[in-house]
A and B are shown apart, each in its own frame.
Chain A
Amino acid sequence: MRMANDQESAQAAAMDCLLLRMIRACGKAGGGVTVTTSQGAFSAIFDNEYVPQTLGALEVESRGPALTCRTSDVERLGLQKDAELTVRGETYRVRKHEPDGTGLSVLLLRR
């Protein structure tokens, strides 16, 4: 039983390592950032695509800043809603945490 648990833990750690490599490799292609928080730093991919905000009949053109990172980093740093973080010198707050269940998370940000 203990051996099985150890094996699962090792597999999870290896997977986490792989995700970090993947994030860094994708980041080199564009969007890679080091995010700093009061609890520490982590690697992520930053994107800031166009997001329409509908209000009544009108659309306000806006941006939807988001970070793709390891879920383990989010948990390790205790990042919750409204947590402050710095990306490329700009301060954002966490609007929503969307873990995908495979070890990756998307953090939707706001000002």
Chain B
Amino acid sequence: MSHRAEQIITAAREAIAAEFRGAVYEHRAFSMLEDEGELPAVSVDYGADDPPDDDGASNFAFFDSLLTVETAIYIRGTEESTVKKDLLDARRAIHVALMADRTLGLPFVIDTRYGGADAPEFNTDGEYLAGLLVCRWLVHYRMNISDPS
């Protein structure tokens, strides 16, 4: 059994794939081909995973942790206004997907919370305008003190 953080990322990715109209990936640092259906895309990856407070919210049996799920949306288009709209449409789809069941269908997840979004980023170097929007979600989960799987 994999670490619970990985199980959360997998569950989040599956939930987003059901709502988002493009491709959903689990990684970020790779290249995408514009002509092979790889865009629009969302990559779902894990970020920081910290105890929810300084004391670590634990007892003899468990630790609680707050996992940051990073969703990076990539869109391309011809007009900046359209790309911005598509980025926000994708952000909405991710929001709906993750908030439909805040446990993500996992018995050890306590809650999924909104973690905000970065300002959108654009690149105008190519034939099409490309846009990126990173949104964050905080997943509160519990793991056994001796085994996080």
Contact A64 B127 (CB under 8 A): yes
Given contact pairs A52-B125, A58-B30, enumerate 15 new A-B contacts (beta carbons under 8 Å).
A48-B127, A55-B121, A57-B28, A58-B28, A58-B72, A60-B34, A60-B76, A61-B31, A62-B126, A63-B127, A95-B124, A110-B78, A110-B124, A110-B127, A110-B129
A109: chain B residues within 8 A (beta carbon)? 127
Contact A55 B130 (CB under 8 A): yes
B residues 91-149 near A (Cβ < 8 Å) are 121, 123-132, 134
Contact A61 B34 (CB under 8 A): yes
Given contacts A54-B123, A110-B128, A111-B78, whether A59 and B134 have CB atoms under 8 Å apart is no
| Total contacting residues, chain A, CB less than 8 A | 20
A51: chain B residues within 8 A (beta carbon)? 125-127
| Total contacting residues, chain B, CB less than 8 A | 25
Contact A57 B127 (CB under 8 A): no
B68: chain A residues within 8 A (beta carbon)? none
Given contacts A56-B72, A56-B134, whether A111 and B33 have CB atoms under 8 Å apart is no
Q: List 16 A-B contacts (CB under 8 A).
A: A48-B127, A52-B125, A53-B125, A53-B130, A55-B74, A55-B123, A56-B72, A56-B121, A58-B28, A58-B29, A58-B31, A59-B30, A60-B34, A60-B39, A60-B74, A111-B127
Contact A64 B132 (CB under 8 A): no
Bound Cα distance A55, B33 (Å): 13
B31: chain A residues within 8 A (beta carbon)? 52, 58-61
Contact B126 A57 (CB under 8 A): no
Q: Which residue in A54, A56, A65 is a CB contact (below 8 Å) of B127?
A: A65
Bound Cα distance A61, B72 (Å): 17
Most A C-beta atoms less than 10 A away, residue of B28, B121, B132: B132
Bound Cα distance A111, B80 (Å): 12
Bound Cα distance A55, B128 (Å): 13
B129: chain A residues within 8 A (beta carbon)? 110
- Interface presence of B88 (CB below 8 A): no
Contact A60 B126 (CB under 8 A): yes
